[in-house]
Amino acid sequence: MNIKNFAVLFVAALALLLVVPAVSAFAKIQYVETDSVVLLPTGTVFSVEAGRTLDLRVIFNTSANEDDVRVTARVLGESDLESTERFDVLANRTYSKWLQLTLPNDLDELDKNFILEVQVESQSRIGDILTATFAVQRANDALEFLSVESDSKVSPGQNFAIDVVVKNRGRNDAEDTFVKASIPELGISKKIFLEDLGALDQSDEDLEDDSIEGTILLRIPSDAAAGLYTIKLEAFSDDAEASATRRVEVVSGSSSGAVVSSTTSKTFAVNADGKYTLTIVNSGNEIMVYNLIVDADDGLTVDLDDSVVVVPAGSSKTVTATARANREGEYNFKVNVHGADNALVGEQEFTAKVEGRAVSGNAAVVLTIILAIVFVVLLVVLIVLLTRKPAKAEELGESYY
């Protein structure tokens, strides 16, 4: 490569280095303000409490027109990224934008340093970046529910278990920590003692850990109405408190039951009615409402005299099913009995054998008329026979010899 070509290449590279910053830097951050603390581009270390949501005000100047610009903020090493809506900027203007950023809460130490990064960018260029170091420290006193586990359904009269894990998020020990669970709509509550919670996990068994597990048993009233209820959970110590909620469904008593039938198969004629009976037995300790659903073969119509049956505890009720078909054949149908929460309590299968034809209404009338005529004729004959006088026997004359 000769000297001339090298000089041209050097000038081009130098021009590229000078042009790229000029092209990319369409905005310059003047400062970022939060809680009346001004963060300059040179960086400022500031202290905040863990878990807080910061209101950030970003002031920046522009040197060129740019479309689809946004301001973003994030904590390095964390997954959350907050940003403003997209907007356009014009050259030689000053802009002020607000956004919120939630700081980490799950600190393993009492305090820890993080890097805040604020950036002005478009879809094709980066305007400016400001970074600042801030120290996140725990609040003096804070509690948190790490876990709440329970079943989703319970029956009246039963104990409802709620397993909780409570953690101390404060710098100080949480002394005399309790957890309370309540269902205000049912007028029930229960409180348990969780002991003291330390500020940090301890390797020494004699020292308090910063989290603890407990179980609360709530007794559901035996007369509790079926429905969805909210459970309120409260963890509290002398100086801190936390709350959580869960939902539980109280089902209508016990779904125990049985379906029985003495006769499951019948034979009847076309267009005639076949009567079947099934008995529903409630073996639970609460009144039950059962829904009956029929599943029948094509061509067979089955009607129930009652599709919703209320059966007191320890009682039974009999339901009649009427089957009818308009053509001969063997048909099957099934009655499904559903209890609380639409749970299937039992089912009963039936068979209908449809043979021959039933006597129609007109034929019955004709047959009745014929029988009536025969009866009248026979009656007339009987009357004639009864009223007819017998012939007198001829008198025998005397004979003389």
Q: Is there a domain that residue 313 lies in?
A: yes
pLDDT at 341: 61
Q: Is there a domain that residue 391 lies in?
A: no
Query: Does 13 lie in the same domain as 133?
Result: yes
Last residue of a domain, one of 70, 102, 137: 137
- Give the chain's mean pLDDT: 81
- The Cα–Cα gap between 190 and 183 comes to 10
High-pLDDT (> 90) share of the chain, %? 41
Does the pLDDT value for residue 22 go beyond 70? no
pLDDT at 226: 84
Q: Is there a domain that residue 209 lies in?
A: yes
Closest Cα to residue 153, out of 232, 243, 220?
A: 220
The arithmetic mean of pLDDT across residues 306-317, rounded, is: 88
pLDDT tens digit sequence for 245-262: 999 998 865 555 678 887
Q: Is there a domain that residue 376 lies in?
A: no
Query: Does 163 lie in the same domain as 112?
Result: no
pLDDT tens digit sequence for 103-119: 877 776 777 888 889 99
pLDDT at 10: 38
pLDDT tens digit sequence for 124-182: 999 999 988 888 887 788 888 989 999 888 888 788 999 999 988 888 888 889 999 99
Does the pLDDT value for residue 388 go beyond 90? no
The arithmetic mean of pLDDT across residues 286-304, rounded, is: 90
The arithmetic mean of pLDDT across residues 259-278, rounded, is: 90
Does the pLDDT value for residue 315 go beyond 80? yes
Query: Does 195 lie in the same domain as 118?
Result: no
Query: Does 214 lie in the same domain as 323?
Result: no
Query: Does 194 lie in the same domain as 97?
Result: no
Last residue of a domain, one of 84, 113, 137: 137
Query: Does 185 lie in the same domain as 78?
Result: no
Query: Does 286 lie in the same domain as 245?
Result: no
pLDDT tens digit sequence for 77-94: 888 889 999 999 999 999
Domain that holds residue 154: 143-250
- The Cα–Cα gap between 153 and 150 comes to 9
Query: Does 110 lie in the same domain as 21?
Result: yes
Query: Does 234 lie in the same domain as 267?
Result: no
pLDDT at 392: 52
Domain count, the chain: 3
Residue 87 sits in a domain of what CATH number? 2.60.40.770
Query: Does 21 lie in the same domain as 106?
Result: yes
pLDDT at 214: 92
pLDDT at 299: 92
Highest mean pLDDT among 5-9, 226-230, 375-379: 226-230
pLDDT at 329: 93
pLDDT at 8: 39
Does the pLDDT value for residue 391 go beyond 80? no
pLDDT at 120: 96
Query: Does 86 lie in the same domain as 14?
Result: yes
Query: Does 130 lie in the same domain as 205?
Result: no
Q: Is there a domain that residue 235 lies in?
A: yes
Last residue of a domain, one of 84, 117, 137: 137
The arithmetic mean of pLDDT across residues 317-338, rounded, is: 93
Residue 232 sits in a domain of what CATH number? 2.60.40.10
End-to-end Cα spacing for the chain: 194
Which pLDDT band, with edges at 50, 70 and 90, does 229 fall under? very high
- What predicted TM-score, i.e. pTM, was given to this entire model? 0.47
